[in-house]
Structure 1
């Protein structure tokens, strides 16, 4: 993470760095929040506690991630596969994240596929798919 400007998001740094690596010179900015447009649409096609299906705008996205870091700390993000299409205006990334559910100490491992649309060297739309069962198992491990 290049500056203390985003220090509050340290718990998800591996994810942010993986996304930045995946997009390379297609976008401008050092940090994940620098490479999303002010009016980004971040869409998740799954149900995750306290996360809306659609987040509109960088400020709201930052607020959502602030809640995420209160609950999950990532140790790694890896297994990146990048597919560039449409002259780099659309990028599909596949990856995994590995972390810990802070409330329970349960390990959290998940797989994702994200479809990213880029305009004017910024992310304008993000559509996310994940292994919902992996998230469910990690979040409910203490309840079984």
Structure 2
């Protein structure tokens, strides 16, 4: 799969309420980084099994249904296995019905058609405010 195809699949999973990743999408040594992670959340997770466990548990505990992934801009790089993606996730809080959006930027690196590295920069303040509303 190309980096764009992997991102498209991830986006489909978000909007379907599923965990971000399927095992077949990840390299065995995949690394997921969120440098601006909220307090108490890991900034780095390594290895397919750990990533799957972490993202599945996180999705199950996150009280938001994602309604849209909009304003997507994909920037190609000199490396055909790397893209930079800007996007905005729109979600509705499961308990309050409040809808909010937050911007993200991610660097996606593939190897042999699988995701090898995902570094995501989140607007954690916007997310925290939306959850608190």
Q: TM-score, normalised by structure 2?
A: 0.74
- The equivalent residue for 1:43 is 33
Determine if contact 1:90/1:117 at 8 Å carries over to the other structure.
yes
Which shifted more, 96-105 or 69-78? 96-105
Matched, 1:120 2:112: yes
Deviation at 1:50, TM superposition (A): 5.4
Deviation at 1:96, TM superposition (A): 0.9
The two structures, once aligned, show a CA RMSD in angstroms of 2.6
Q: TM-score, normalised by structure 1?
A: 0.69
1:17 to 9, 12, 16: 12
- Runs of 4+ aligned structure 1 residues displaced above 4 Å come to none
Structure 1 portions without partners, runs of 5+: 1-12, 20-30
Determine if contact 1:39/1:57 at 8 Å carries over to the other structure.
yes
How far, CA to CA, are the matches of 1:14 and 1:116 in structure 2? Answer: 13
How far, CA to CA, are the matches of 1:16 and 1:81 in structure 2? Answer: 13
Task: Report the CA distance shift for 1:35/1:94 in structure 2 as closer, same or farther (over 3 A).
Answer: same
- The DSSP-based 3-state class of the residue aligned with 1:63 is helix
How many residues are paired up? 118
